[in-house]
Structure 1
Amino acid sequence: MRWLAALALLASPAAAVTCEDVDHLGASYTICDVGFDQDLQLFLRDDNGDILGSFSAVEAHTHLPLLFAMNAGMYHEDRSPVGHYVEDFVEEMRVISNDGPGNFGLLPNGVFCIGDTFKVFETLDFLAREPFCSDATQSGPMLVIDGALHPRFIPNGTSKYIRNGVGTFDDGTRAVFAISNEPVNFHDFATLFRDVIGADNALYFDGKVSRLHAPANNRSDFGWQLGPIIGVLPSQ
């Protein structure tokens, strides 16, 4: 957690989001720390209802530069969200609570909620609590659940991809986003959130399509068009 304390000292509400490269279990990751006093939002469609799909399209839509952005949840071929999605209090997709094929259905999965705090909820807990969320995105699987790894993860898993996700803490004051800079398995990615970041709960966003926009680090990944995007805009 020493790196987190250092980032907190460097950060300020008007400053760019601070990202740091770290090594864990022989792989490189980039970790970005977002405080609750920063303007973190979800983005999916433009004013015509068309999917934005890229960091540059979000900036054109908002007429503001993104201080940080990342893909934020799995999506169908038409790039609509697979799971629960709320943007600016408007629900586009309901909560999906049943299991299913693919990583999304590897229960337990979860929901990242931007509300009175930043919070990753396990999906059934989210349904039971019905928290206030101005923005929310569901994905899966959960990486860390109340400090424990997802029970299906194995240390030497052979399925490796560039992966990204988000972790939160019980006080709800910050969200920490991470992306691997090389292919990693679920177990190693989850232990990054548990052991390095120290997140109480963490949620997997996606793999293979994972991308990061971090202009303060001179980085803006490109590739396939995206579905949901999460990003920080300058304070107005």
Structure 2
Amino acid sequence: MRGLIAAALVWLMPGMAGAVTCADVTFDGAGFTLCEVDLTREDLRLFLRDDAGEILGQFGAVDSSLGPGERLGFAINGGMYHEDRAPVGLYIEDGVQEHGLVTSAGPGNFGLLPNGVFCIQAGRAQVIESRAYAADPPACRHATQSGPMLVIDGALHPRFLADSTSLNIRNGVGVDTTGTRAYFAISNDMVNFHQFGRFFRDYLGVANALYLDGRVSRLYAPDHGRNDFGFWLGPILGTVIDAGGGGG
């Protein structure tokens, strides 16, 4: 299935090999926007604060914060945050840790264990269950903790119910078996956790996937005609590309 999806995404956006590719797809009666990032060719980063320490919070602010000759290519909200928009759990940006890992259960979706960490390394990424991360922390250039895990080693989160009436717009991330391709999905219809988890497991075929957030879910994909406005965000995941249009 992953190979068919990759082929479809490339076909939808000819001449952009190596760029982030997005497509609208349907699974189990619900619409999703799916974006694929080739980590061997794209510079995927986390963003939180500007040089003055103020939280960026918007895709436009991230774009404006980049260096000369750089622009934001793709972005999505990158994990849960407190009212002051500081990260709830582990947050590492460019090798510097701002907030530590949280492994205890707690209220809300973040505390619905198991939760997990999205870890970006050189040319690859991982989705790791938080306690597994704590037991053997990898070296992450960027990392964000969120929850719950959607898929854990090929199984749906044990608390998900197929008939749950808790419906929301949701976004999350999964990684292929090689770790070189990250799949970001945002639902265009309200779905429950069970359906969203099955999208990653059954449609994308990924073994591990992580929920990023619900009602604040937003996507910046200008090549796909998306630039979502709305809530101010905390962590933001995005690719940095050459202002001339090349990949990172």
Please name the residue that 1:166 is paired with.
173
CA offset digits 1:103-151 (Å, max 9, x no partner): 0000000000001421000001111121010000000000000111000
For the 8 Å contact 1:4–1:197, the answer to whether it is kept is: no
Whichever residue aligns with residue 233 of structure 1, its letter is V
Please name the residue that 1:209 is paired with.
216
1:44 counterpart = 2:51: no
For the 8 Å contact 1:160–1:185, the answer to whether it is kept is: yes
Q: CA deviation at 1:3?
A: 1.5
Superposition map of 1:183-198 within 5 A: 183-198=190-205
Which of 4, 20, 37 is the equivalent residue of 1:34?
37
Name structure 2 gaps, 5 residues minimum. 242-246
Q: CA deviation at 1:8?
A: 5.4
Please name the residue that 1:118 is paired with.
125
Find the residue that maps to 1:66 and give its secondary structure. Answer: strand
Please name the residue that 2:77 is paired with.
71
Please name the residue that 2:65 is paired with.
61
Find the residue that maps to 1:20 and give its secondary structure. Answer: strand
Name structure 1 gaps, 5 residues minimum. none
RMSD: 1.3
1:94 counterpart = 2:96: no
Q: TM-score, normalised by structure 1?
A: 0.96
- Write the distance in 2 (CA, Å) between the matches of 1:209 and 1:77: 13
Whichever residue aligns with residue 89 of structure 1, its letter is G
1:228 counterpart = 2:235: yes
Runs of 4+ in 1 over 3 A off after TM superposition: 8-11
Instruction: Tell me the matched-pair count.
Output: 234
Please name the residue that 1:20 is paired with.
23
Please name the residue that 1:131 is paired with.
138
Q: TM-score, normalised by structure 2?
A: 0.91
Whichever residue aligns with residue 25 of structure 2, its letter is V
Please name the residue that 1:108 is paired with.
114
1:6 counterpart = 2:8: yes
CA offset digits 1:4-46 (Å, max 9, x no partner): 3333575523x3x110111111110000000112010000000
- Write the distance in 2 (CA, Å) between the matches of 1:134 and 1:3: 28
For the 8 Å contact 1:144–1:193, the answer to whether it is kept is: yes
Q: CA deviation at 1:156?
A: 1.1
- Write the distance in 2 (CA, Å) between the matches of 1:146 and 1:169: 12
Whichever residue aligns with residue 189 of structure 2, its letter is E
